[in-house]
Amino acid sequence: MNSRQSRLVDEVVRSLSSAILSGELRPGDRLTVLPIAQEFGISQSTTREALLMLEQRGLVKTNPRRGASVTRLSEQEADDLCRMRALLEAYTITVGGTQITESTLDVLRQQVAEMYTCVMPRNLPRLIQCDLAFHQVIAELGGSEMLLESWSRLSGRIGALILRSMEEKKLNVQDIARYHAEVITALESRDLEQGRNAIIRHYIRGQAHEQALTSSLSVAAQATVAFGAAGTKTRQ
């Protein structure tokens, strides 16, 4: 791909991303190559490159028969995504939660404060960016680049997840900001169990067997850290 084509792809990706995250394009809306190419005055191959990039970010799904459409998460996909992120972030809290600094907590507080100022649907992209920034700070507590890469791969669909949560659970901005503030309160204690449970509940709120699932994921995160530490000692 030459530099001009790369620039055109980036422009289309930015435009379509903004339309998806603002709610102008809704989950399930079809994205047909020819009309998009005509609208932006670009080739169909460039359009396909842009759609592929959007798919890699989790904003678009491609079906061989139906073509591309804005990602709509099924209930099972949303539950699975929440559980995977909950387990991963519970792990990072177990690794670094006792050492969390006030400056790190301040970064989290700033993201929540900005969430409270968001007005929907106009500020949905900003709300999603605040959410991603908040959870990236927690993911970074694990001190592992590989783990952070795994977290990043799960983050492409966070926009679709937030849209689904707002539509299906009737959540508003105040609810979302408050749920994040509850995580901060738990992290402020530097108590690992409180921190793990708070981040897990944050993700699986409303799922079936919530209490038992919280306990299971918390134990799994704790055990993974313990096994990792034991393996390190053995190699030494």
**For each of the chain's 236 residues, which pLDDT tens digit applies?**
577 778 899 999 999 987 887 667 888 899 999 999 999 999 999 999 999 999 887 789 888 888 899 988 888 989 999 999 999 999 999 999 999 999 999 999 999 999 999 998 788 888 888 999 999 999 999 999 999 988 888 877 777 788 788 777 788 899 999 999 999 999 999 999 999 999 999 999 989 899 999 999 999 999 988 866 654 554 54
The reported pTM is 0.81
Query: Do 207 and 184 reside in the same domain of the chain?
Result: yes
Are 123 and 148 contained in the same domain? yes
* DSSP element (H, E) containing 63: strand 60-63
Query: Which range marks the domain in which residue 149 is found?
Result: 75-235
Question: What is the count of structural domains for the chain?
Answer: 2
Whether residues 150 and 45 fall in one domain: no
Of 150, 130, 172, the C-alpha closest to 89 is 150
Question: Do 125 and 221 fall into the same domain?
Answer: yes
**Side-chain half-sphere exposure of 32, counting CA atoms within 13 A:** 5
Residue 79 shares a structural domain with residue 27: no
